């Protein structure tokens, strides 16, 4: 039997406070300001009726992995606001954090504020085309497969620099940094080198392409976000530690 609404919201409040405290502690350990780290609450499989209370408790950034789920869910969270003003009027920002197929980009442009998972020049070109139709510039992050896992998407680290010039020529996309998904490991310390390599790659790219604002490193999830923060993450993508276990 599920818990009551008040108990569920109290648990959510405690979870959010706990995650924020852990973010602050991780930042403090390496002399960073916790305000430099953005918390993206991952709402994959989380129903709309549980997302709005999280926003009411102060979260402003939410991440979705699956395009169709987002298309169905996002309009339900604030049904009283029109689609044109929904995000801006309530101060909510949506992040596309999952693998994005080119044929789904047209659905993403109207709903999302930042795409974390651009993993090819061809995908960037499609984002540019669709953003142009919408008369907007879409901020993007370049996804990098730092660990070289066959099961993961992303640019190989040594191919990112050659892709950047082609992407920067696109008038309706704006590179704002890099993203990676670390390997699953029982000991979070084992993924530290992968986060460090993404940070080092970002620093090299910033030297080579100083006109680009490489502000973001999107890395770290529930099991390893503290390590990611210690290694320079500016966006951490946390779902389970906020919303609990989920049905995948």
pLDDT of 86 over the 90 cut: no
Q: Delineate the domains of the chain, giving CATH numbers in brackets.
A: 5-243 (3.20.20.10)
pLDDT of 141 over the 80 cut: yes
Res 186: pLDDT: 87
Q: Of how many residues is the chain composed?
A: 248
Beta strands in the chain (DSSP E): 38-42, 61-64, 93-96, 114-118, 138-143, 173-179, 216-218, 235-238
Res 91: pLDDT: 82
Q: Which two tokens stand for residue 71?
A: 């298309």
CB 222 within 8 A of CB 27: no
Looking at residues 143-160, what average pLDDT do you find?
94
Average pLDDT score over the chain: 93
184-229, pLDDT tens digit by residue? 888 989 999 999 999 999 999 999 999 999 999 999 999 999 999 9
CB 74 within 8 A of CB 113: no
Collect contacts of 199-204 with beta carbons under 8 A, ≥24 apart.
199/231, 199/232, 201/144, 201/146, 201/157, 201/160, 202/177, 202/178, 202/232, 204/161
Query: What is d(CA 96, CA 191) in angstroms, rounded to the nearest whole number?
Result: 23
Res 89: pLDDT: 60
Res 2: pLDDT: 56
Q: Residue 85: which pLDDT band, with cuts at 50, 70 and 90?
A: very low
pLDDT of 24 over the 50 cut: yes
Res 179: pLDDT: 98
Backbone torsions φ then ψ of 108, nearest 5 degrees: -80, -40
The model carries a pTM of 0.94
The 8-class DSSP code of residue 80 comes to T
Looking at residues 135-153, what average pLDDT do you find?
94
Query: What is d(CA 139, CA 176) in angstroms, rounded to the nearest whole number?
Result: 6
CB 229 within 8 A of CB 236: yes
Q: Which two tokens stand for residue 239?
A: 């779902």
Res 70: pLDDT: 95
Rounded percentage of the chain residues whose pLDDT exceeds 90 = 83
Looking at residues 37-57, what average pLDDT do you find?
95
Query: What is d(CA 70, CA 76) in angstroms, rounded to the nearest whole number?
Result: 10
């Amino acid at each position: 039997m599920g818990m009551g609404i008040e108990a569920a919201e109290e648990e959510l409040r405690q979870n959010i406070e706990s995650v924020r405290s852990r973010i602050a502690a991780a930042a403090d350990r390496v002399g960073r300001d916790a305000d430099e780290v953005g918390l993206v609450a991952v709402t994959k499989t989380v129903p709309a009726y549980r997302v709005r209370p999280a926003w009411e408790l102060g979260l402003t950034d939410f991440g979705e992995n699956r395009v169709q789920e987002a298309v169905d869910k996002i309009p339900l969270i604030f049904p009283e606001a029109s689609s044109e003003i929904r995000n801006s009027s309530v101060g909510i920002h949506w992040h596309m954090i999952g693998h994005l197929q080119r044929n789904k980009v047209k659905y993403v442009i109207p709903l999302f504020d930042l795409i974390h998972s651009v993993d090819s020049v061809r995908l960037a070109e499609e984002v540019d085309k669709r953003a142009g139709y919408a008369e907007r510039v879409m901020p993007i992050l370049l996804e990098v497969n730092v660990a070289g896992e066959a099961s993961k998407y992303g640019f190989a680290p040594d191919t990112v620099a050659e892709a950047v010039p082609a992407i920067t020529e696109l008038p309706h996309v704006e590179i704002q940094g890099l993203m990676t998904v670390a390997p699953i490991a029982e000991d979070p310390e084992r993924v530290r080198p992968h986060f460090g390599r993404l940070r080092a790659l970002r620093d090299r790219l910033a030297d080579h392409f100083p006109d680009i604002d490489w502000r973001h490193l999107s890395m770290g999830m529930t099991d390893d976000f503290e390590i990611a923060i210690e290694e320079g993450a500016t966006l951490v993508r946390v779902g389970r530690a906020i919303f609990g276990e989920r049905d995948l």
